[in-house]
Structure formats: C-alpha cells, structure tokens
Structure 1
Amino acid sequence: MNVEAIIKTATLPPRRRTMIHLMLVNNRIGEAMAQTLKPFGLSMQQFNVLRILRGQKGQPANMRTLNERMVSKMSNTTRLVDKLIAKGLVRRNVCPENRRKVEIFLTDTGKEQLEDMSAAVDAQEHALMENFSDDDLRRLNELLDLIK
C-alpha cells in the first residue's frame, strides 16, 4: 500500500506516514469485514457480541461483560443486543427480583449462524493476511504492542 499515492501527497515523515498507514489499513480491514458479514445482515460489532457470548461456553454474559470485551468500545451494546434479539440470535433474561440484573445468552439459532459467519470471517482474515508468515505476524503484533 503506497500511502503517499493514496492520499496524493509528497513523502511524509515516518511517524505521520505510519499513523496514516494504520488508519488506511484499519479502513481496508473494516470494509472487507463489513462485506463478509453483509450476507448475514450483521455488523462487525454484532458479530463481536456473538463471539463474546460463544466464549462464555453456555454461561450468560451481562451488559458489563459485553462492554468490557468489545473490540470497539464506541459501540452501544444495548442497541446491538436489541438488534440481535430481534434476529433471534440472542435472548435476554431479566431477573424479576432485580431488574438491573440482565443476562444475555446465545440462542441455538445464534450458535448455528455463528458457525457460518465464523467460517466466512476466517476465510477473509486468511485472505487479508496471506502475504504474512506466522513469524511476520508475531513480529507485527510485537511492534503494534509498542503503540501507547
């Protein structure tokens, strides 16, 4: 990816070029994942909620757990869960004694559809990263960990 060609500018200082490069890569990945999930009618944030619930291994998650584990902290988790409920992919149980205690579960339909979505996302991840070896990816992650 030639950053300068994309933004039509002269050579950039390394720090600025890197920041712009990371933003461009983020956009490219976001667009690719959005296209991958489009046939399923889900956003990446909704998919993230489903994966978090799958990671609960049958145990419920509360809204706080979902918020803490979301990749995108800008998400309105309540709205995401409401949309997933409407699609029949998750269900919400509200404790009758304490209405603030809300438990979110993955439905059987949600589990089944998540299998298909996960396969499509895995294929897209592979396509996006096919030019990297495992060692390249480990090193890239080490470098990205250095960002404050």
Structure 2
Amino acid sequence: MNVEERIKTEGEIPLERRTIIHLMLVTNSINDKMSLALKPFDISIQQFNVLRILRGQKGKPANLSTLNERMVTKMSNTTRLVDKLILKEFVERHICPSNRRKVEISITDKGLEQLRKLDVLITETESRLLNEFTVDELKQLNTLLHKF
C-alpha cells in the first residue's frame, strides 16, 4: 500500500510520520476485515475478545478488571460489552459470594459453542490477511513490532 496515494497527498511524507500513518491504515484494514467476518454472527471484535478471555479462564470466572487488563483493544465500557453478551446468553454475571461488591463473569455453554464456530471463521480470516507473508517474514514482522 502506497501511503501517499492512499491518503491522496502530493508530497512525500517524512519517514517517521509515514510509518505511523501506514501502521494506522493497516490496523484499520485488519479491523474492517475482522469486523466483516464477525458481522453475520452479530458479534463485535471486542465481544469476541471477551469471549476468548473468558474461555481462557478454563471455567473460572473473571471480573471486569481482569477483562479490561487482558483485552487487546482497551475499552472504558466493558460493562456494556458484557451486558450485550448476557442478552445473547453467551456469558453470565454473578455476585461473588465472599465479596458482594465483586461481580464475576463466566462464559456459558452457548458462548463456548458460538466461540467454536467463530474460531474457524477467524482462523480463515487471519490466514487470508497474512497469505502474502512467509513464515520467516511473519517472524521478522513480529520482531519489529515487538520493538514498540
């Protein structure tokens, strides 16, 4: 992707700025493709992320703070995300018996089943997004991105 052409600018953009803009454009493109893949299931990227975090808890509930800490895309309104997942019956919210101020969230069997379907779709989408890269190039890209 030629950044200057994409943002329709005449002059050459300084390398540092061009790099940041390029990363932002790539991020937007990836988010668009992932959102499009999830759209038929009426699941957002953030909701999908919450479901994966809860599955990773291996049956143990998580609280809102844990979800916020582990989310790829940080959001201020995780409660709203959880509320939407509750309406879809993908997660449950319980009051912690030992600390009534603490809310625990766990994934339901229906949520796990939906996630199994989504896993296949997301794996296919990721493969399509990265099909131009060799394994060595992906390793190199990850090494470079790690420097951030």
Do Structure 1 and Structure 2 share a fold, with TM-score over 0.5? yes
What's the CA shift string for 1:19-45, capped at 9, x where partnerless? 100000011001001101001101100
Runs of 4+ in 1 over 3 A off after TM superposition: none
Number of equivalences: 147
Partner of 2:36: 35
Q: Tell me the SS of whatever aligns to 2:51.
A: helix
What is the alpha-carbon distance in structure 2 between the residues aligned to residue 128 and residue 104 of structure 1?
32
Q: Tell me the SS of whatever aligns to 1:116.
A: helix
- The CA deviation at 1:96 is 4.8
Cα RMSD of the aligned pairs, angstroms, is 1.1
- The CA deviation at 1:103 is 1.2
Partner of 2:49: 48
Q: How does 1:75-114 map to 2 (within 5 A)?
A: 75-96=76-97, 98-114=99-115
Kept after mapping to 2: 8 A contact 1:52/1:66: yes
Q: Tell me the SS of whatever aligns to 2:92.
A: strand
- The CA deviation at 1:74 is 2.5
Partner of 1:17: 18
What is the alpha-carbon distance in structure 2 between the residues aligned to residue 113 and residue 131 of structure 1?
29
The answer to whether the aligner puts 1:8 opposite 2:18 as a matched pair is no
Kept after mapping to 2: 8 A contact 1:54/1:111: yes
Kept after mapping to 1: 8 A contact 2:68/2:75: no
Q: Tell me the SS of whatever aligns to 2:114.
A: helix
What is the alpha-carbon distance in structure 2 between the residues aligned to residue 108 and residue 133 of structure 1?
37
Runs of 5+ unmatched residues, structure 1: none
Kept after mapping to 2: 8 A contact 1:62/1:101: yes
TM-score by length of 1: 0.95
- The CA deviation at 1:3 is 0.7
Partner of 1:138: 139
What is the alpha-carbon distance in structure 2 between the residues aligned to residue 123 and residue 76 of structure 1?
29
Runs of 5+ unmatched residues, structure 2: none
Seq. identity, %: 61
Amino acid aligned to 1:46: Q
Kept after mapping to 2: 8 A contact 1:45/1:75: no
Kept after mapping to 1: 8 A contact 2:68/2:74: yes
What is the alpha-carbon distance in structure 1 between the residues aligned to residue 76 and residue 137 of structure 2?
31
Partner of 1:59: 60
Label 1:43 to 1:3 Cα distance change in 2 as closer, same or farther (>3 A). same
